[in-house]
């Protein structure tokens, strides 16, 4: 049972169901920092792009000037949602306000928002939420509740460098953060996720100020970064995949495609499509979700290298999505040739064997599996032609074609007969 919400285990499972099945989402880090794109006064500032104000110690008034150049006339929320959908993503989480305090929505409690401070002058969240709904995409808001470098009292947590930041954190929470979260929970219809961040200095008392607001969104799912010891619904390993997953918990790995969340013009250190697909598979095989980031430009474009990768992931997902969605962790650990995901359906258990290293001798050995196999076939085979299967000493051996159907990850489906029986893992 989630401790922040009064509900039964059954109610919680019902609330979490779509999220557990979705497996793959898009994170969007977008704000005024995209104008700087990693460069301040002609100098490339090291570190993640959305932290440029902090890293370069840019005074508040000076940073706010950059909003005048934030004019995302090329922003096409429909296109973003369709791209995410094509990639096989089932939800989007966007930074409604990051640590620079700039709101991507029309906030009545500050002028430091897209409507009042930029030439664009329109709420950016509303059309994204609408496009998401049109296309059956779940939508969530990231909100930096404890760190805000442009409002007095909000920089307490992250250190401050400008008099304009001085103030009382409690007052900041009461007058800016809480009212803004109320706006987010009131003005956009049903919101699926609230993604808190950096709960530095968030005492229990401070965190509890946000809890009553959650009643405005009875189905909302929240991460574990509100602070004050409130666990939330899911864990958030960042930029790494836990070796063994987080057994018994819901969790989501958030990760960048290059080395920054917010746009940086010169960060070209892109992960390959192979890495991204294998990460998704690795995470699913350990029972987690993957929230993969894009950092759009100040004009409103998702960088081309991200688009290319998302399209390639989508090509793979269009064939192999079944082996990801609504699956749970591998019952056979990490086999030597790749990963395994599992699905329980009304007509029995299916194992999806994700083969990264295709056996050149055409013999794929599934360790520890003691159940009988009713059917085995390649997921990419539209005819589902049966492959030969033998019980062997190590487990089960499947005869596969000599050539891998997919160079990144080919999937063999095993339909298990009756109950799933697996030998315990060997120690060491
Ligand atoms: O400081 C932020 C960072 O900018 C980024 O938003 C990530 C995403 O998880 N969260 C914080 C660091 O943990």
Hey, whose CA ends up nearest to atom 12 of ligand 1? 198
Comparing CA positions, the residue from 54, 35, 4, 209 lying closest to residue 114 is 35
Domain spanning 9-323: which superfamily?
A: Glycosidases (3.20.20.80)
The predicted structure's pLDDT at residue 113: 98
Q: For residues 378 and 411, what is the distance between their CA atoms, to the nearest angstrom?
A: 6
* Atom of ligand 1 at shortest range from CA of 225: 13
Q: For residues 154 and 162, what is the distance between their CA atoms, to the nearest angstrom?
A: 12
The CA distances from residue 190 to 106, 109, 141, in Å, are 17, 22, 11
To test ligand 1's pocket by mutation, which of 238, 253, 260, 264 has the most ligand atoms within 8 angstroms of CB? 238
Comparing CA positions, the residue from 240, 247, 96, 267 lying closest to residue 182 is 96
261: Cβ below 6 Å to ligand 1? yes
Q: Indicate yes or no: pTM above 0.95.
A: yes
* Atom of ligand 1 at shortest range from CA of 293: 8
User: Where are the CATH 2.60.40.1180 domain residues in the chain?
Assistant: 338-416
Tokens of 1: 């049972």
Burial of 286 (0-12, 13-18, 19+ CB in 10 A): buried
Question: In which residue ranges of the chain is pLDDT below 50?
Answer: none
197: Cβ below 6 Å to ligand 1? yes
Quick check: 105 and 113 in contact, CB under 8 A?
A: yes
Question: Residue 66 gets which letter from DSSP?
Answer: G
Number of helices (H) and strands (E), helices first, in the chain? Answer: 12, 16
Quick check: 339 and 328 in contact, CB under 8 A?
A: no
Domain 338-416 has CATH 2.60.40.1580: no
SS3 401: coil
The predicted structure's pLDDT at residue 155: 85
* Atom of ligand 1 at shortest range from CA of 236: 9
SS3 206: helix
238: Cβ below 6 Å to ligand 1? yes
230: Cβ below 6 Å to ligand 1? no
Distance 72 CA to ligand 1 centre (A): 23
48: Cβ below 6 Å to ligand 1? yes
pLDDT per residue over 111-146, tens digit each? 999 999 999 999 999 999 999 999 999 999 999 999
SS3 15: helix
92 backbone dihedrals φ, ψ, rounded to 5°: -125, 135
The predicted structure's pLDDT at residue 2: 57
Tokens of 37: 């794109």
Quick check: 90 and 139 in contact, CB under 8 A?
A: no
Distance 32 CA to ligand 1 centre (A): 16
The predicted structure's pLDDT at residue 341: 98
Comparing CA positions, the residue from 125, 25, 142, 139 lying closest to residue 75 is 125
CB atoms inside a 10 Å sphere around CB 309: 22
Tokens of 310: 């998302």
Quick check: 100 and 146 in contact, CB under 8 A?
A: no
User: Where are the CATH 3.20.20.80 domain residues in the chain?
Assistant: 9-323
């Amino acid at each position: 049972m989630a401790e922040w919400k009064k509900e039964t285990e059954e109610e919680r499972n019902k609330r979490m169901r779509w999220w557990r099945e979705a497996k793959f989402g898009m994170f969007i880090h977008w704000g005024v920092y995209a104008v700087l794109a990693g460069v301040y006064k002609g100098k490339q500032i090291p570190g993640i792009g959305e932290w440029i104000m902090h890293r370069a110690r840019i005074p508040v008034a000076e940073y706010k000037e950059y909003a005048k150049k934030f004019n995302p006339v090329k922003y096409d929320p429909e296109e973003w949602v369709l791209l995410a959908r094509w990639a096989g993503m089932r939800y989007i989480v966007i930074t409604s306000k990051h640590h620079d305090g700039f709101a991507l929505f029309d906030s009545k409690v500050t002028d430091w928002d897209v409507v009042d401070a930029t030439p664009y002058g329109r709420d950016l969240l509303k059309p994204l939420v609408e496009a998401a709904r049109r296309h059956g995409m779940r939508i969530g808001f990231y909100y930096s509740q404890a760190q805000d470098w442009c409002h007095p009292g909000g920089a307490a947590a992250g250190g401050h460098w400008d008099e304009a930041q001085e103030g009382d954190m409690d007052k900041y929470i009461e007058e800016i953060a809480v009212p803004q979260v109320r706006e987010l929970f009131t003005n956009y219809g049903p919101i699926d996720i609230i993604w808190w961040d950096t709960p530095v200095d968030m005492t229990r008392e401070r965190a509890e100020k946000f809890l009553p607001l959650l009643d405005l969104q009875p189905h909302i799912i929240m991460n574990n970064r509100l602070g004050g010891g409130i666990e939330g619904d899911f864990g958030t390993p960042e930029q790494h995949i836990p070796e063994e997953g987080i057994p018994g918990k819901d969790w989501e790995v958030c990760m960048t495609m290059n080395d920054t969340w917010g746009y940086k013009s010169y960060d070209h250190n892109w992960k390959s499509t192979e890495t991204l697909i294998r990460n998704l598979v690795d995470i699913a095989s350990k029972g987690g979700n993957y929230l993969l980031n894009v950092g759009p430009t100040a004009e409103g474009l998702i960088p081309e290298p991200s688009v290319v990768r998302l399209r390639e992931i989508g090509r793979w997902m269009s064939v192999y999505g079944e082996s990801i969605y609504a699956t749970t962790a591998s019952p056979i650990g990490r086999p030597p040739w790749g990963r395994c995901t599992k699905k329980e359906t009304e007509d029995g258990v299916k194992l999806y064997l994700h083969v990264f290293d295709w056996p050149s001798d055409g013999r794929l050995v599934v360790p520890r599996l003691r159940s009988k196999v009713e059917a085995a076939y390649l997921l990419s085979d539209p005819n589902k032609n049966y492959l030969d299967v033998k019980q062997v000493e190590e487990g089960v051996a499947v005869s596969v074609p000599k050539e891998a159907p997919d160079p990144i990850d080919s999937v063999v489906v095993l339909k298990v007969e009756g109950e799933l029986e697996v030998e315990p893992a060997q120690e060491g």
